Amino acid sequence: MSTDPRLKPLGELRQLDLITSDEYDDTLAELQIIELQRAHNAAEDIEVPELAMNADRIKTLAWLLSAELVPEERFFRMLRKLPADEPRRQLASAALQQVNREAIDALYGENLINQFQRDAAHDSLPGYHLAATPVAALRHMLKQGTLSPLQYKELQARTRANGSQLARLIVDAAGKPPTQYGRPRPRPSTIMAAALLLAILTMLTYAGRAWFKREQPVPVAPLAQPADTIERTDLQQRAASMVEGARQPGADAPQFEVQVIQDKPPQ
């Protein structure tokens, strides 16, 4: 692969710090994968966008952006830091414009937009927007108003009736909310740890309830008074004081109720 002419502009982009060393290595691996799968893709009639052999630095960087080998967030962060008159800024902006134009031209090639809409879309794309795919380009046209909601409905009906399979996929996907990237998914270990913590908290909750119920004093029902006795309320306070004085200092004891009864005198 050392004689591959595409390595020269790729290496120049690395020297200009427009791509990182990891992105350079990923691109080399991607080129090798495409080469190894070329026969299989041809047999299965799978079209894979390839980097042209005669691609210059602008087309090479544009291909890297469309293939998502250069992360969009890092690219725009770098682009904002470069001065407006910096040659590297002009090269990166030209590559961005190239990607957007190719995505819009793909819509025109699938007969999804007319020539007037294509030219209007070319002129309306901002300098800090990446439409790496035809779906993103059509979605941006809807957001910007280049394609009205009514025109989209008509396009959707026409495409479903007479469009190619690719055209139908593009139109249907453009009408759905874009997929949100960058939000990290919970790792399996994190999910297991959360489940284990929840189980422990549940066990502690039930154990705490059981301990609290065990520690609560059990109310003592008053003794049933025999039929042949009478209650001496005048002696209850004195008996209660005697029981209280018999406790050990600092000892806890359940609540009690003193009841004094005696046999009824004979009639």
Taking Cα atoms as reference points, which of 189, 179, 266 lies closest to residue 228? 266
Cβ–Cβ under 8 Å, residues 262 and 229:
yes
Confidence at residue 124, expressed as pLDDT on a 0 to 100 scale: 77
Helix (H) or strand (E) holding 263: strand 261-263
Confidence at residue 220, expressed as pLDDT on a 0 to 100 scale: 53
Confidence at residue 133, expressed as pLDDT on a 0 to 100 scale: 83
Q: What is the dihedral of CA 158, 164, 169, 175, to 10 degrees?
A: -20
User: pLDDT grade, residue 185 (50/70/90)?
Assistant: very low
Confidence at residue 189, expressed as pLDDT on a 0 to 100 scale: 42
Q: Is 76 exposed, middle or buried (0-12, 13-18, 19+ CB in 10 A)?
A: middle
Task: Provide mean pLDDT across the span 9-14.
Answer: 96
Task: Provide mean pLDDT across the span 154-183.
Answer: 80
| Separation of alpha carbons 107 and 39, rounded Å | 28
Cβ–Cβ under 8 Å, residues 122 and 104:
yes
Task: Provide mean pLDDT across the span 186-215.
Answer: 56
Cβ–Cβ under 8 Å, residues 131 and 150:
no
User: pLDDT grade, residue 232 (50/70/90)?
Assistant: low
Most confident of 43-52, 71-80, 202-211, 212-221: 71-80
Give 50's contacts (C-beta < 8 A, 6+ positions apart): 34
Token pair, residue 173, equals 């996907």
| DSSP classification of residue 234 | G
Helix (H) or strand (E) holding 196: helix 188-215
Cβ–Cβ under 8 Å, residues 103 and 140:
no
User: pLDDT grade, residue 180 (50/70/90)?
Assistant: very low
Task: Provide mean pLDDT across the span 29-55.
Answer: 85
